[in-house]
Amino acid sequence: MVADASDPAAVVAAAGATQAVVVNPPRRGLGPDLPVLLDGLSAAADPASPTGTLVYSSCNPVTLATDLAAMPHWQPLSARLVDMFPNTDHAEVLVLLGPR
């Protein structure tokens, strides 16, 4: 599935029978609509949904926390801090989520 995250309708259309979703939003996060949409794709929210994995790559831990709080049907399974820019204050946080 490839879709512009700023267009929730495109995400829904592309989701179809997607088993996994990967998001890598800008520093501002996913925005107000996409977390709600992604939460509805969780197999926990919709037992008929085949989506069992969500990977969230974030460069901003504050918006990551906000977005995760807006997706109660997903639970973090593991997380990794990736130092992609040595000698700076910037790092990526990768979070693997599964249905709650």
Angle between helix axes 34-41 and 8-15 (nearest 10 degrees) is: 20
Q: Is 59 a catalytic residue?
A: yes
Q: Which amino acid is at 27?
A: R
Catalytic residue among 59, 91, 93, 96: 59
d(CA 82, CA 100): 25
Which residues are tagged catalytic?
Answer: 59
